[in-house]
Structure 1
Amino acid sequence: MSTSVSDTVSGPAAVSTEAPAAAPSAQADRFVHERLPAQQALPRMVYAMPELRIPAQANLVQSLFAKAIREGRADKPMLRSDKITLTYADALERVNRIAQVLVEDFKLQPGNRVLLRGGNSIGMALAWLGVVQAGLVAVATMPLLRAKELGEVIEKARPALALCDASLLEELQTAKAQSSTLQVIVPFNLMDEPGSLAVLSAQKDGQFTPCPVAADDIALMAFTSGTTGKPKAAVHTHRDVLAACEAWPRHVLKARPDDIVVGSPPLAFTFGLGGMLIFPMWAGASVYYPSIGYTPEAMVKLINQVGATVCYTAPTFYRQMAAFAKQHGVPSLRLCVSAGESLPDATRQLWKDATGIEMIDGIGATEMFHIFISAAGADVRRGAIGKVVPGYTAKVVNDDGEEVPRGTVGKLAVVGPTGCRYLDDARQGNYVKSGWNYPGDAFMQDADGYFFYQARADDMIITAGYNVAGPEVEDALLKHPAVAECGVVGLPDDDRGMIVKAFVVLKPGEAGGDGTVKVLQDHVKAMLAPFKYPRQIEFVDKLPRTETGKLQRFKLRQS
């Protein structure tokens, strides 16, 4: 069973769940602080384990480097690529040089926002760390955003400066020309261009005192994908990210200092920021950033080439990688993390058959920073995402916020050491209710405390009075050997209210048509209750996905 907050902190080893004492803010620019939700709209923050009691004054980046050096890892690899490997000491010096440029050359003040634009690279990682080391607020953006979308971020975040990969300058320059807010763009990976971050940093001595921020000062703003409307900016403090390191990474992932991490989630996505930078630093491990993009086969070859032990990517990519993993083997790999969208059991079993590795599933949210329900190894239960991560409390509730009986589908509600704080956004009230975070997912919890994902709360299909979860139907379809990918949505119907419709990508050599439609419908009927089968099936060449791999069901409903 999941525990209540009072249960979590009972007994002789209990610690207070109250927010730790605050230190005076070091952020002179109060733009973000002044636009946080009102006190009554904030989530309740719970610090129910001793390791969650972050000191009142704590700079996230300084703390991570200090931990690595204290544990004797100064000369151990931290950031790797096909061109260079930086130790923790090397990386710290470069981070300090970047911080010097921001503070000394551009006169940025603690609390100023800095927009970052780049793919996963050592340059992007160092830039992000340098911004936060200087007490500034990192505003990372997805590499594929266009000028209009970047303009929305700029308007909301009001960055004083942008650090941008030289190959991605064009769209940002267009957005800058249309904005009165952003004044300066500095490319960060040109080695011989006057005014580039690399050249400016080379002129510094690396002697920089990290900004003495309060733990409750702002470290980052993470923009949601904005696929259904205007994007929201989720705000996280130094305390939030340090506390997150002491939850899922410590208790579920259990990475080791000798781990080499690879993966596809962008650093601009909190799943990627945690998995591909922050959490490896906390563990004293290293991350490998390739200079070319990923394909499923290239990812498997890279794992073997660099001896990677930990992989982060989305379920769709694991499904596509499975055949290559079976062909080439992945002997060094020991931990595989799936998040970003629901993990079908068919994909989990396909990967396990190919590699022998039990995937670590997890659900997190940009608003919560990272994963709060998960399971690994022997704790995995088929069909379930897992149990609540130590440090968090979760329950399944009805529309009135009352916990429903086990085995009943309802809405997920969560509290813990992280929580949703939107920047100046009326939608805060949709996410936080009575101090609990509502990620917007429909779940069922069993008698043993395992949580079973059903769908996004607004993606539940109600057909002829029956509730159907699209991911459950997708999982059944994926178990058919002809299906490569699929997406399931509900469409309006005069007779049934809604009908279940599937969009299916077939494997090479498989033909669509009425015969295949019937075969797939019969396949689903044989696996699930008959009312759940897709009454319509449309064959498509590809499915609409976000840059982070999430299926965009709203686009399927519009097609």
Structure 2
Amino acid sequence: MTQNPAVSTTTGTATSTTTNQHHDQSQDTDHYRQMYREFRWEVPEYFNIAEVCSRRWAADPMHGAATAIHYEDSEGHCESLSYANLQAQANQLSQLLHTRGIRRGDVVACILPQRPQTTVTLMACLQMGAIIMPLSFLFGPEALEYRLQHSEASALIVDQSGIDAYLQIRAACPALKTLITLDCQAEQALDWHSSLADMPQQFEAVATLASDPAILIYTSGTTGAPKGALLPHSALIGNLPGFVASQNWFPRDQDVFWSPADWAWTGGLMDALLPTLYFGKPIVGFQGRFSAETAYYLMEKYRVTNTFLFPTALKMMMKACATPLQQYRLHLRAVMCAGEAVGDAVFNWCVSALKITPNEMFGQTEMNYIVGNSHLHWPAKPGSMGRPYPGHRVALIDDEGEEVADHQIAEVAVNRYDMHGQPDPIFFLNYWKNPAATNDKFSGDWCRTGDLALRDADGYLWYQGRADDMFKAAGYRIGPSEIENCLLKHPAVANVAVVPKPDRERGNLVKAYVVLAAGYQASSALITQLQQHVRGKLAPYEYPKEIEFIGTLPMTATGKIQRRGATRKSRQYLMMLATGNHCRRGRF
């Protein structure tokens, strides 16, 4: 039914040249231009993520018993799931969902952490032709309610990490007819374990086009509500060149992958889980809070060779253990970093302490894994985003959609077509029920990222900040609009502006400037109250770590907070307050 697309003709030949795990980078030559020029996409007409990530491996007598998931939680419970067992359980869940009326094109939501059942849910929905909407267990009731309502999800699969938040807004989601609970209980819910036990372990998968919708992920918005980016099955193919390159030519025979990135987000799903399964390798899932000690423990125990780590996580690991190879038996051969810039200190520590040159990567939900490094085949420049990965035509464009010259700051954009004129499969299909936002994302064939950069003479991109008000904090992509809207619902808040405040550990902190409503007085108790108000409704990482009360905010003639474009001075005013001194170019 589904062909197995080759990543490129270059990948096979390049793999044979990278046999030395820690070879001297001084011996490297720059293969980039040849690899970029020779790359060709091979996208079949019919393609399904579940087919290539699970069904084909389970059907292979030599591979079915191989481990797909190593799982462990913070209580020490461990289990593993083979590809054959993964597929059998996915078939049972597909059968159950089918009995509940779920069909091709229906949206199925799940609130699950890194655990085997998360992968089972993904495969079950995708092989049915349904659209899977992974939701973070960190979402509070308000964030969850919007996404379930806007997507009109027909079913929800949830465990104890998300059930309390859902039950608070259940009545507001009438389209959701089926609730399946895992290791928790709720009225009129189907129990995962008992319900699946009654289902057959066979299921006839539907044939999906590569361009059919597969995954719905909501991204934080700079203005208005979060937007649902709808990804096709082919988006996985578009991710593969960057994944292979940034992971130093994954896979090798003994490769094992682990990342703390939540599988509900693009980083955890498209940069870790799905590409690892595509290549039939094991991935480690851990359900628990991240710590440096846990990271070292997991990497040593499961002999992890490849990982994706946010720079914030690497900073924590660096501070917790300056010489990890003296204390742990690690088998790392590749580290990919994304979400924020890797500074010289972390970069140099990785090289000296881990014996790994980290490969930085840049992408976003709408078109992921588009720019980055692969130090085995082109030199890494510390602090650079890297070069466009093979298959992606990336440029810096101005407001009119025209390409700019080297050493000029402009917006990063990706063309719908590669350098050979062939369609690039990396792109999202559209924003769910938002054609205007979809149109605004494009300038002709160029898809805008909203991120500013400059390009040097060697083709490396250097991040310069956001073109809008989006920012990163501890690796999470944060839009101020949702936080501001939440704060405005508190009676003490008359107006509010949320901005990033530079932070050595997290890159940025979320800071809120609040204009108080009449009758309220500034106090530390009110700050705590407002912080808890946001934490109770949105995700924990979105609550403002700092709140400052201010008399007025800079406003436009139409009553909007001045942030960008012609109002740059007003935005800089807020940033100057946040930094405590001045607005540093490239941070904001």
- Superposed pair shares fold, TM > 0.5: yes
Shift in CA distance, 159/290, structure 1 to aligned 2, threshold 3 Å: same
Aligned equivalent of 1:350: 349
Distance 1:222 1:352 in 2: 34
Counterpart of 1:255 in structure 2 is 250
RMSD between superposed Cα atoms in Å: 3.3
SS at match of 2:166: helix
Instruction: After TM superposition, list the pairs within 5 Å mapping 1:158-169 onto structure 2.
Output: 158-169=152-163
The structure-2 alpha-carbon separation of the partners of 1:428 and 1:274, relative to structure 1 and needing over 3 Å to count, comes to: same
Q: Residues 307 and 408 from structure 1, CA distance in 2 versus in 1: closer, same or farther, beyond 3 angstroms?
A: same
1:35 maps to which residue?
A: none
Alignment-derived partner of residue 218 in structure 2 = 223
Q: How many residues align?
A: 445
Q: Distance in 2 between matches of 1:495 and 1:214?
A: 48
- Whole-Å separation in 2 of the counterparts to 1:302 and 1:484: 23
1:150 aligns with 2:140: no
**Deviations 1:143-165 (Å, cap 9, x if unpaired)?**
11122111111221111111111
Question: Contact 2:222–2:468 (CA<8 Å) still a contact in 1?
Answer: no
Aligned to 2:285: 289
Name the SS of the counterpart of 1:220 in structure 2.
strand
CA displacement at 1:503 relative to structure 2 = 6.0
* Shift, 1:58, TM fit: 2.0
AA aligned opposite 1:75? A
Q: Secondary structure at the match of 1:216?
A: coil
**Structure 1 residues 202 and 449: alpha-carbon distance in aligned structure 2, compared to 1, 3 A threshold:** same
Q: Which residue of 2 aligns with 1:126?
A: 120
Equivalences for residues 97-136 of structure 1 within 5 A: 97-103=92-98, 105-136=99-130
Among candidates 366, 370, 374, match of residue 376 of structure 1 = 374
Provide the secondary structure at the position in 1 that maps to 2:449. Answer: coil
Match of 1:81 among 65, 71, 83: 71
- Which TM-score applies when normalising by structure 1? 0.72
Determine the C-alpha separation between the residues in 2 that align with 1:168 and 1:332.
34
Q: Tell me which amino acid in the other structure corresponds to 1:384.
A: S
Aligned to 1:535: 582
Query: 1:409/1:460 Cα in 2 relative to 1: closer, same or farther (>3 Å)?
Result: farther
Deviations 1:108-164 (A, max 9, x none): 111111011111111112112211122111011111112211111122111111111
Q: Is the 8 A contact 1:67 1:282 kept in 2?
A: no
**Shift of residue 64 of structure 1?**
2.4
Per-residue deviation, residues 393-425 of structure 1 (Å, max 9, x unmatched): 001122111111111111111123222421122
Question: What amino acid is aligned across from residue 367 of structure 1 in structure 2?
Answer: E
Counterpart secondary structure, 1:109: coil
Contact kept, 8 Å, 1:60 with 1:242, in 2: the verdict is no
> Structure 1 pair 459/137, CA: closer, same or farther in 2 (3 Å)?
closer
Give matches, 1:430-449, under 5 Å.
Answer: 430-449=440-459
TM-fit CA distance, 1:496: 11
- Structure 2 counterparts to residues 337-416 of structure 1, below 5 A: 337-368=336-367, 370-378=368-376, 379=378, 380-415=380-415, 416=424
Give the one of 60, 73, 76 matched to 2:49.
60
The change in CA–CA distance for 1:175 and 1:496 in structure 2 (over 3 A counts) is: closer
- Of all paired residues, the percent bearing the same amino acid is 21
Q: Is the 8 A contact 1:499 1:535 kept in 2?
A: no
CA distance in 1, matches of 2:39, 2:462: 29
Which residue of structure 2 aligns with residue 466 of structure 1?
Answer: none
CA–CA distance in 1 between the matches of 2:258 and 2:577?
A: 33
**1:265 Cα deviation (Å)?**
1.2
1:240 aligns to what? 235
Closer, same or farther in 2 for the Cα pair 1:203/1:424, shift >3 Å?
Answer: same
SS of aligned partner of 1:65:
helix
Q: Is the 8 A contact 1:252 1:389 kept in 2?
A: no
Whole-angstrom CA distance in 2 between matches of 1:96 and 1:497: 54
Assess, with a 3 A threshold, how the Cα gap between structure 1 residues 117 and 445 changes in structure 2: closer, same or farther. Answer: same
Structure 2 gaps, min length 5: 1-7, 10-35, 73-77, 416-423, 472-501, 512-562
Offset from partner CA, 1:148-187 (integer Å, 9 cap, x none)? 1111112211111111113321111222212222122111
1 CA distance for matches of 2:324 and 2:80?
A: 26
SS class of match (1:64): helix
The whole-number CA distance in structure 2 between the counterparts of 1:125 and 1:495 is 46
Q: Which consecutive unaligned segments of at least 5 residues does structure 1 have?
A: 1-7, 10-46, 462-476, 505-516, 518-533, 538-552, 555-559
Aligned counterpart, 1:423: 432
Alignment correspondent of 2:308? 312
Partner SS state of residue 425, structure 2: coil
| Cα distance in 1 between the residues matched to 2:122 and 2:193 | 14
Render the CA deviation track for 1:242-294: whole Å, top value 9, x for unaligned. 3433x212344322252221112111111110233101011221111123221
Alpha-carbon distance between aligned partners in 2 of 1:202 and 1:49, rounded to the nearest angstrom: 50
Counterpart of 1:138, as a letter, is I
Per the alignment, in what secondary structure is the counterpart of residue 366 of structure 2?
A: helix
CA shift for structure 1 position 204 = 2.0
Change (3 A) 1:302 1:404: same
**CA deviation digits over 1:484-505, x for unaligned, max 9?**
455499999989965864868x
* Preserved CA contact (<8 Å) 2:47 2:234: yes
Distance (Å, rounded) in 2 between the aligned partners of 1:218 and 1:152? 21
**Structure 2: distance between partners of 1:106 and 1:496:** 51
Q: Which residue pairs with 2:333 in the alignment?
A: 334
Q: Secondary structure at the match of 1:364?
A: strand
Distance 1:406 1:289, change over 3 A: same
**Structure 1 residues 199, 218: closer, same or farther in 2, change over 3 A?**
same
